[in-house]
Amino acid sequence: MTMLRMFLMQTKMNFVWYFRRDGEMMFWTLAMPVFFLVLFSFAFSTGPNSGSSTFLVPGIIGAQVLSSGFWGVGVMLATFREKHLLRRVYLTPMPPAVFFASLVVYRVALLVAQATILVTVGALVFHVRIIGNPLEIVAILLLGTATFVSLGTIIGALARTTESANNIASILTVPLAFLSDAYVPIDRFPHAVSSALRMLPSTQFIDTFRDVSVYGHSLVHYGAWIGLLVLWTVAGTAISARTFRWI
Amino acid sequence: MNEAIVVERLVKRFGTLTAVDALSFAVPRGTIFGLLGRNGAGKTTTLECCIGLGKPTSGSIHVLELDPTRPRELERLRPRIGVQLQATSLPEKANVREVLELYAAYYAIASRAEEMAARVGLDGKLDRQIAQMSGGEQQRLALALALQHDPEVLFLDEPTAGMDAFGRRILWTEVERLRDAGKTIVLTTHYIEEAERLCDRICMIQRGAIVADGTPADLVARYGGDASVTIAADGFAPGADLQHLGTWTKTGAQWKLATRGEPGLALAAVVTDANAAGAKITSLDMHRPTLEDAFIAITGETIEETE
């Protein structure tokens, strides 16, 4: 009961403090992805029903999963540490694991909102249909979130300041998002390049998520990708757990 | 055990810098204990070791018979101590009520937001956001967060730094009230008057080591030196009847009496004598030794850094 109360209260406060009262954050979280969807849908469209929006909706959701882990969790933790917020919490009976979990759950709630908006706009404006098995869609989304939260936490562990965390996240997010099938199909690159890009966890996640959600493939055919994502997650978690300092 | 805190030969090094050098002290329950020293003397490092924020290089610490360097014991200690750090940063967009409610959840107690806000003079400001509060108000909120769960031991690191007179008075009253309720309080300060007013016992710290300790009155009596009366008056010289008061010295037109006795009585005797002699007093001064005199005598430096 005590833990649950701490967790619920912290999650609620994360939402109120870092989202509801932060206009900039609301804009970046809710409006920007839709803006990207509309912009790229028209930019890449070769005519009606060219399928570019169908490609983009899961791609942008995937990119949001990635940035939630890197920015929403990783950079946020570095900021909390730099502002001595983690130190203060460390002095209380609040378990670090519960504090961490409430940050992740808060970001997952935002992801659900983002995905809902993107799917709705996609359906109403661009006739994008989500035809995959809902359970499989949720499963791959959860795995992707776990992967990028664990990798993002490494940023929060290694960066000593908010500034350096920001820099690391920027250096990683931009190429990972743009070279991972999120916005542009990577098979347009030369074969050697696209093969290399398939080594990235972002490609593995976004491709799988797209194929399952809008192309209706079954997750059972993606065993190799899932295995790799699990490996990334395990490695990310292990490194984070070893290097993260609360104080 | 009667001691709330026992620190034995605590050493803390950061690389080649020895911040705390074999420091030992014990704090009886129900007392206010002060670590007094300049900035950088090792006060904060010592306090941080007591609350589990720093790992001692060597030595031992026990707070309520628990060792804060052991994770298991620290876990049991946390609900029983309250801490106000020098710079507490709370989320900018959080308001007073929310922070108090969240901390109540941390400590698994019923929220006492209204009561706590009133106790630290923030009543009527429950909906004020951190970003809109002054540094002193934030410090008072930090105090409320340290007190809300009614801890047995309170650690305050430079609690009144940056506070105005109002905040200082609130904090002092609160600390004394808690001591009277049987709580133990450890505070670091570089304000002499704060240490003198609040502390039952003071440890003076210089370069990570204790240079003197005792009650404020005891420290002043031992190290503060003599009281003095200084007088300049035309036609005045201390006669035989004033010699028993202490030692007289003359600098220019000024006579100075150094006395171990009560300086107020000496002053009265001197003035009476001067008046009886018909001397015209041009200046008159009395100085009673203070904790600051003791500090300077012990450490060879003033407590405030001179630029």
In this prediction, residue A205 carries a pLDDT of 96
Euclidean distance between CA atoms B138 and B121, whole angstroms? 11
- The answer to whether A88 contacts B89, with C-beta atoms less than 8 Å apart, is yes
The C-alpha atoms of residue B119 and residue B107 are separated, in whole angstroms, by 19
| Whether B73 contacts chain A with CB within 8 A | no
Chain B residue whose CA is closest to A91: B78
The whole-angstrom distance between A5's CA and the closest CA on chain B is 6
Between the alpha carbon of residue B306 and those of residues A176, A198, B44, B76, B267, the distances in Å are 54, 63, 21, 43, 33
The 10s digit of each residue's pLDDT in A196-219 is 888 999 999 999 999 999 999 999
Tell me, what's the pLDDT at B43?
A: 95
Q: Select the residue from B45, B48, B106, B109 to test the A interface by mutation, using most A Cβ atoms within 10 A.
A: B106
Decide if B102 and A21 are in contact by the 8 Å CB cutoff: no
- Among chain A residues, CA nearest to B106: A94
Q: What is the pLDDT of residues A13-50, one digit of tens each?
A: 999 999 999 999 999 999 999 999 998 888 877 655 56
At A48 the pLDDT is 52
Distance CA A192, CA B80 (A): 62
From the number of C-beta atoms within 10 Å of its C-beta (0-12, 13-18, 19+), residue B236 rates as buried
Among the residue ranges A52-56, A63-67, A106-110, A187-191, the one predicted with the least confidence is A187-191
**pLDDT over 70 percentage in chain B:** 99
Which DSSP category does A74 fall into?
Answer: I
pLDDT tens digits, residue range B257-307?
Answer: 999 888 999 999 999 999 988 889 999 999 999 999 999 999 988 888 764
Both tokens assigned to A100? 């961490």
Contact B91 A85 (CB under 8 A): yes
The answer, for B155 touching chain A at a CB cutoff of 8 Å, is no
Region A171-176: mean pLDDT is 86
pLDDT in tens, B66-92: 999 999 999 999 999 999 998 778 999
Record: contact B88-A13, CB cut-off 8 A: no
Q: What is the pLDDT of residue A49?
A: 56
> Is the pLDDT assigned to residue B236 strictly greater than 70?
yes
Q: What mean pLDDT comes out for the span A75-85? A: 94
- State whether residue B253 sits within 8 Å of chain A by CB: no
Mean pLDDT, range B117-121, rounded to an integer? 95
Chain B environment of A246 (Cβ under 8 Å): none
pLDDT above 70: residue A150:
yes
Chain A positions touching B110 (Cβ under 8 A) are none
Alpha helices in B25-147 (DSSP H): 43-50, 71-77, 96-106, 113-119, 135-147
Cβ atoms B260, B224 nearer than 8 A:
no
Confidence of residue B56 (pLDDT cuts 50, 70, 90): very high
The pLDDT of residue A177 is 81
Neighbours of A20 (CB within 10 A): 11
Q: Could B79 and A93 be called an inter-chain contact, meaning their C-beta atoms sit closer than 8 Å? A: yes
pLDDT band at residue B112 using 50, 70 and 90 as cut-offs: very high
pLDDT (mean) for B177-193: 94
Query: What mean pLDDT comes out for the span B214-230?
Result: 93
Is the Cβ pair B93, A93 closer than 8 Å?
no
Q: φ and ψ at B258, to 5 degrees?
A: -100, 125
pLDDT mean across residues, chain A: 92
- CB of B98 within 8 Å of a chain A CB? The answer is yes
pLDDT tens digits, residue range B134-162? Answer: 999 999 999 999 999 999 999 999 999 88
Instruction: Note the pLDDT of residue B306.
Output: 60
Nearest chain A Cα distance for residue B190, angstroms = 22
Listing from the earlier edge strand, what are the strands of the sheet with B280-287? B247-251, B254-259, B227-234, B280-287
Inter-chain contact B105–A16, Cβ cutoff 8 Å? no
pTM, 2 dp: 0.90
User: Using alpha carbons only, how large is chain A's radius of gyration in Å?
Assistant: 18
Does A9 sit within 8 Å of B90, measured CB to CB?
A: no
Residues 6+ apart with CB under 8 A from A69: A107, A145, A147, A148, A149, A150, A151, A152, A153
Mean confidence (pLDDT) of chain B: 93
